[in-house]
Structure 1
């Protein structure tokens, strides 16, 4: 390969030739269609992104394979985050299902649709840990917990890629953003990250390791710096941890122009310096900035970048292309589909509906306000999301088929025996009042037997660059909610959101609240299935809902101070609390209700102590003591009572989702080993320390009664002295 051909493999450019996803990134078309074709013909670009179309993609691949000197195939990628044409719930919502196998199925469906339209590669899953709900990209994550994030990371990689990377329907996965992007200061996007190494390794890195262990071959670097070193040029991160410690064999791609942004960070003097720092650190592929294309040749010729460093990056990218089968079959995933509807549409719609209803979390249901009846009730659907179709799919939905999306009004009317029994009133806009809107809403509420109040965040409040200081409803919606909830008719809040929200006292006073996230294509039907009791809500919160915006960052697994707040003591002085509120969640991680009740029996342990290399069995009987079938997420938490570093008050270590009929019970079992008790010590080495632990089997992070067990110290086995050894006394005599 010539130097220019090598450098070409290290760049991925916006696809200016195929139909493109606009308004996703700034300044998308630095290279126009003609220049892009010339680069492909010269073998000087290795990948394109965010264009779609199998027939057009096949022509681009033909140019690369048949007209360039070496015939190296292109890699065609896109942001397929939570669905392609069929849109599934946002990742945060899907995490609320506590069903990684569901995420694997939706990722598989997205891969089938994406590869059918000429894609090989997705920039997903997002595996960042989101502990600050002000951050807009919480919506793309699985929430605040590392154990849950690892489970979903593995599942989504398996789903996207399938069992065979060379298959036509295999979509190469890219866990992102490496690393600690969810820890940006103040929840402010692109901001700095100041993080203890132990927190980096204990909290933020494990989901990436889980994704790589599941087979991910590409990783995307993050925009942020970590302790002063931008991730895109962080050699310790990209080479030391990723390759040398973990043995990662794939390649690292920058986030959009993040290598160029080293200049604004004040880390690189200019573009040439940015290219040098990035490649030396272990960044293999540059996305859209052009700094590799423009400067690597001079850097190599001047000896500032070693040829061996360049060759290593090229070899990684070519190796991934080979493992995908692109050299053997460069036209994989590029066969134009036959005309007419896709054969999988019905199956994917059914999956989207199931995923949506499994993602919904019922926060409260006082007085069995839900479910509603399909006949014999007058229902008012009030709020700006009632018939809205622009805010069903949520952020990072760039290819969704909006013609198939079902809004709330449509879904509810389809479920009612008499569709005319539903009255729909907007009440207000997303951010603005409507003349007479509240009056019309009050009239509808007073004339109804029940109100469904559809309020929340518009899509544009969530996703990249959408950080918020106040995680509350827009003022116009808040005024509508206060008026309608005060009207006296039972109100069910249908909350649409991409993060945890601080709910006002008026919202908290509503007898029933459903967190419906952004549920995607089948929103209306899925919500109707739950509201009318065809299915019982089974989602649980993957994030803590705070009492107030000012609590952020808040997460259930915080450490204890020397003066911890004790729940139930009010605003006791000289404790770790705010003046205005307790140091607790309004609704904790893991919380969620259904249409039945579950009782937890006593937790039983197989022994009082866990042997150093042994296993401890944990059992608890869970019973459905209600009148309806339902599903329960049984959760396991631990606390290390005394350690060499202050440990969290609880840590999530296991879960099982079980379905029980009325009156049915089941013994749920977990198994613990020493590995479940390990953490990074003061020297940042992985350690488990003998001592006492508390354990909960509970329905949420603040429920249940603990039982105790002890991790027993390692005992070196006794052995007899070999016959040839002299007694110690003889040895002392010389």
Structure 2
């Protein structure tokens, strides 16, 4: 821990009379006392997340930024390293009131130990491990001085063209809520003032996952019923779990940008839900309200403050215009004080006033970052996040003997295993899939490899993947300049004597994530052509997919005998993929986002509402496509194992219930294969008659069960009226009496059903 005697003396003189503990009363007294000492300029500085107005780089600790901090012009900034963050806090201790700076960073799925992307994590259906990943990320990041993360992203997403589906937990609001709570617990722990926890920031509030056409930064338009029943639940769950902050989204809500939407930021977030943390904008989202047609920077800055925004991220609107708006009567001092108070309260909760250097710990930085234990946790989570999509003739698991050809433009990738939003990308410690197969396979396995094809030959995509932005968000595309014929011939040559071919295809890191929307979400043509050549060899082919979103892989599903969805698996991903391929881990992941057949089906999700003319293959005038099936390639909840499971019929304790009765539903699960394995038993509820049209089914619970070969187990679920609740047309959250059905099964389509009546 760093000691600063000059700071401690000044600090004690300022707050000795009020600072006694971390209780609510002490915080109120301390913040009120401090607010009385602050000038207007200092208050505006506290609600400014910025590099300053001197041209310094955000979070870089440059001289211009440090000068602005000393003047009290910056309340929060980004963090890049131990050294730069220490300089930032040193500068804060030279300011008049010595208010520490809040240090934030995009710690999305790990700090230096990188875990699978969040979409992959959600496919593990293991909230304990998901919480652990956030806890490890918090421990690593906090040692460098970071005390605030712009995570979790809890946006519900039903359009895989949107690149940021990689950052969320898929399409289901109930499951998204469980993941959101686990992430908040992992980051914040039980005590935010501990130096190994960091404050969570729930984003993007709200509805960003419903961006039109799957295009990033685009508009959103939906009814309040759709909002509350389909999208809002994970945000509320994260806030109920105690998340300390929220981030506004770029999109419109009811025609008004979220950042300037008082109904959203005050009426819903604070008055309805009781959130008492602070709200920061997304990057320059105040400024961007001008493009939505709401006025100049002065106008939209005042609008954001009055709506309930507490901190302006990098837009310089608050610090640059609110003084003039105050003079003109457009905003009040009470509104400025309220925003400033919430920011100061966050710093108090984090213990920064007690010790501004509490999150700078060189000893922890040396001993708690990239440890063997952390890397092992990353490897375990990566394996558990993978989803076995197909395994014809039990090609998998592979034998640890013979020759394996590992072919594809991602076969020897390292950085592309990490996924988007990795601020400290260290390729040198990442084993490739080729290296993982060699290591896990052992001495009796001979591994041959070839690129076979470039990632893509499509000109527009190539240009995007070769841009400087691709380097910032992921990996710049490396192009092999040899001819297509040479690349294909090399792949055929290494495959000629192989017993099995592992084709590693899909997306590079830069092809998903922020600002990485794709209109065509198929495997690029260059890679599909390679796959066709490999299949023509007659060798068994295993397709390993690396990607950050569901892909349109109908052709691959029909023609490739084995497919493993590995996502972007993180630092230990190469070894984890090999663990699964060789059977060291029996895959148990289940999809949390539907895989469409075609982009023409999008949006596609399991919990849709029904149509008045449901599909009937014998009737032309029903809801269907002329050219493809309505059904997806792989539904929500889908995932195979190296063993097999059988479900009995569902048994319920009552067919008629009243009031606060409890419904007990049972199903017997049997492992009918010859390997031990885990199954995610999923419970869905349908409400076929209600005051509003309800989804065809909704996930309400699950249990992940390990069974030995031949073992059977009775799985019991308890259902209460709380599981039947929804928002009605008056936005009242309640349940209605009537007929219901429960469905229990291995995915959202393959279920066993029982019906019952529940009266009030």
Question: TM-score, normalization: structure 2?
Answer: 0.89
Q: How far apart, in 2, do the equivalents of 1:542 and 1:136 lie?
A: 16
Q: How far apart, in 2, do the equivalents of 1:710 and 1:389 lie?
A: 55
Q: How far apart, in 1, do the equivalents of 2:189 and 2:350 lie?
A: 12
Which residue of the partner structure matches residue 106 of structure 1?
133
| Aligned with 1:298 (options 321, 324, 341) | 324
| Aligned with 1:514 (options 556, 560, 564) | 564
Which residue of the partner structure matches residue 153 of structure 1?
180
| Aligned with 1:389 (options 397, 401, 414) | 414
Following superposition, the deviation at residue 56 of structure 1 comes to 3.3
Following superposition, the deviation at residue 509 of structure 1 comes to 1.2
Alignment of 1:59 onto 2:98:
no
Which residue of the partner structure matches residue 338 of structure 2?
312
Alignment of 1:360 onto 2:397:
no
Does the 8 Å CA contact 1:52/1:118 hold for their aligned counterparts?
no
Following superposition, the deviation at residue 518 of structure 1 comes to 0.1
Per-residue displacement from partner, 1:162-196 (whole Å, max 9, x unpaired)?
Answer: 12100011111011000000001111111111101
Does the 8 Å CA contact 2:554/2:633 hold for their aligned counterparts?
no
Q: How far apart, in 1, do the equivalents of 2:534 and 2:518 lie?
A: 26
Which residue of the partner structure matches residue 492 of structure 2?
442
Q: How far apart, in 2, do the equivalents of 1:204 and 1:215 lie?
A: 19
Q: How far apart, in 2, do the equivalents of 1:30 and 1:533 lie?
A: 44
Following superposition, the deviation at residue 35 of structure 1 comes to 2.7
Following superposition, the deviation at residue 420 of structure 1 comes to 6.1
Per-residue displacement from partner, 1:375-402 (whole Å, max 9, x unpaired)?
Answer: 1x22111111111123111111111332
Residues 1:155 and 1:506: Cα distance change in structure 2 (over 3 Å): closer
Per-residue displacement from partner, 1:44-88 (whole Å, max 9, x unpaired)?
Answer: 211111x322243233213213x2111211110100000011100
Does the 8 Å CA contact 1:235/1:280 hold for their aligned counterparts?
yes
Bigger mean CA offset, 184-193 vs 433-442: 433-442
Residues 1:54 and 1:16: Cα distance change in structure 2 (over 3 Å): farther
| Aligned with 2:278 (options 251, 263, 271) | 251
Alignment of 1:46 onto 2:93:
no
Q: How far apart, in 2, do the equivalents of 1:344 and 1:506 lie?
A: 37
Per-residue displacement from partner, 1:106-140 (whole Å, max 9, x unpaired)?
Answer: 00000011011110000000000010111110000
Q: Structure 1: give runs of 5+ residues left out of the alignment.
A: 18-25, 715-734
Does the 8 Å CA contact 1:610/1:673 hold for their aligned counterparts?
no
Q: How far apart, in 1, do the equivalents of 2:144 and 2:484 lie?
A: 42
Alignment of 1:76 onto 2:96:
no
Does the 8 Å CA contact 2:287/2:315 hold for their aligned counterparts?
yes
Alignment of 1:12 onto 2:49:
yes
Q: How far apart, in 1, do the equivalents of 2:663 and 2:493 lie?
A: 60
Which residue of the partner structure matches residue 178 of structure 1?
205
Alignment of 1:457 onto 2:485:
no
Matched residue SS, 1:52? coil
Which residue of the partner structure matches residue 360 of structure 2?
334
Which residue of the partner structure matches residue 616 of structure 1?
663
Matched residue SS, 2:665? strand
Alignment of 1:489 onto 2:526:
no
Following superposition, the deviation at residue 16 of structure 1 comes to 11
Following superposition, the deviation at residue 27 of structure 1 comes to 10
Q: How far apart, in 2, do the equivalents of 1:221 and 1:340 lie?
A: 35
Following superposition, the deviation at residue 97 of structure 1 comes to 0.2
- Within 5 Å, give how 1:398-409 maps onto structure 2: 398-409=423-434
Following superposition, the deviation at residue 488 of structure 1 comes to 1.3
Which residue of the partner structure matches residue 530 of structure 1?
580
More helix by share: 2
Q: How far apart, in 2, do the equivalents of 1:128 and 1:475 lie?
A: 31
Q: How far apart, in 2, do the equivalents of 1:42 and 1:392 lie?
A: 43
Which residue of the partner structure matches residue 556 of structure 1?
606
Does the 8 Å CA contact 2:501/2:541 hold for their aligned counterparts?
yes
Does the 8 Å CA contact 1:482/1:506 hold for their aligned counterparts?
no
Q: How far apart, in 2, do the equivalents of 1:385 and 1:257 lie?
A: 35
Q: How far apart, in 2, do the equivalents of 1:473 and 1:551 lie?
A: 17
Alignment of 1:667 onto 2:717:
no
Q: How far apart, in 1, do the equivalents of 2:423 and 2:59 lie?
A: 20
Residues 1:349 and 1:75: Cα distance change in structure 2 (over 3 Å): same
| Aligned with 2:194 (options 150, 157, 167) | 167
| Aligned with 2:633 (options 586, 596, 599) | 586
Per-residue displacement from partner, 1:395-438 (whole Å, max 9, x unpaired)?
Answer: 11111332211110110001223376111011011113734222
Q: Structure 2: give runs of 5+ residues left out of the alignment.
A: 1-37, 458-482
Q: How far apart, in 1, do the equivalents of 2:52 and 2:166 lie?
A: 26
Q: How far apart, in 1, do the equivalents of 2:549 and 2:534 lie?
A: 24
Which residue of the partner structure matches residue 152 of structure 2?
125
Bigger mean CA offset, 400-409 vs 168-177: 400-409
Q: How far apart, in 1, do the equivalents of 2:493 and 2:693 lie?
A: 56
Q: How far apart, in 2, do the equivalents of 1:258 and 1:502 lie?
A: 33
Q: How far apart, in 1, do the equivalents of 2:150 and 2:330 lie?
A: 31
Per-residue displacement from partner, 1:655-686 (whole Å, max 9, x unpaired)?
Answer: 11111111111111211111211112222222
Q: How far apart, in 1, do the equivalents of 2:60 and 2:540 lie?
A: 57
| Aligned with 1:322 (options 344, 348, 362) | 348
Which residue of the partner structure matches residue 647 of structure 2?
600
Matched residue SS, 1:453? strand
Matched residue SS, 1:403? helix
Does the 8 Å CA contact 1:84/1:400 hold for their aligned counterparts?
no
Bigger mean CA offset, 573-582 vs 654-663: 573-582
Does the 8 Å CA contact 1:132/1:552 hold for their aligned counterparts?
yes
Alignment of 1:410 onto 2:435:
yes
Does the 8 Å CA contact 1:55/1:334 hold for their aligned counterparts?
no
Following superposition, the deviation at residue 446 of structure 1 comes to 3.6
Q: How far apart, in 2, do the equivalents of 1:8 and 1:142 lie?
A: 35
Alignment of 1:266 onto 2:293:
yes
Following superposition, the deviation at residue 307 of structure 1 comes to 0.8
Matched residue SS, 2:228? helix
Residues 1:647 and 1:106: Cα distance change in structure 2 (over 3 Å): same
- Within 5 Å, give how 1:566-577 maps onto structure 2: 566=616, 569=617, 573-577=620-624
Does the 8 Å CA contact 1:541/1:588 hold for their aligned counterparts?
yes
Which residue of the partner structure matches residue 546 of structure 1?
596
Per-residue displacement from partner, 1:572-610 (whole Å, max 9, x unpaired)?
Answer: 522211121121111100010111111111211121123
Alignment of 1:476 onto 2:540:
no
| Aligned with 1:188 (options 215, 235, 252) | 215
Does the 8 Å CA contact 2:145/2:357 hold for their aligned counterparts?
no
Alignment of 1:657 onto 2:704:
yes
Which residue of the partner structure matches residue 678 of structure 1?
725
Residues 1:339 and 1:701: Cα distance change in structure 2 (over 3 Å): closer
Q: How far apart, in 2, do the equivalents of 1:251 and 1:338 lie?
A: 29
Matched residue SS, 1:708? strand
Matched residue SS, 1:431? coil
Supply the RMSD in Å over aligned alpha carbons: 1.9
Which residue of the partner structure matches residue 718 of structure 1?
none
Does the 8 Å CA contact 2:415/2:425 hold for their aligned counterparts?
no
Bigger mean CA offset, 453-462 vs 417-426: 417-426
Residues 1:200 and 1:80: Cα distance change in structure 2 (over 3 Å): same
| Aligned with 1:425 (options 436, 439, 450) | 450
Residues 1:178 and 1:118: Cα distance change in structure 2 (over 3 Å): same
Bigger mean CA offset, 237-246 vs 27-36: 27-36
Does the 8 Å CA contact 1:108/1:159 hold for their aligned counterparts?
yes
- Within 5 Å, give how 1:205-224 maps onto structure 2: 205-224=232-251
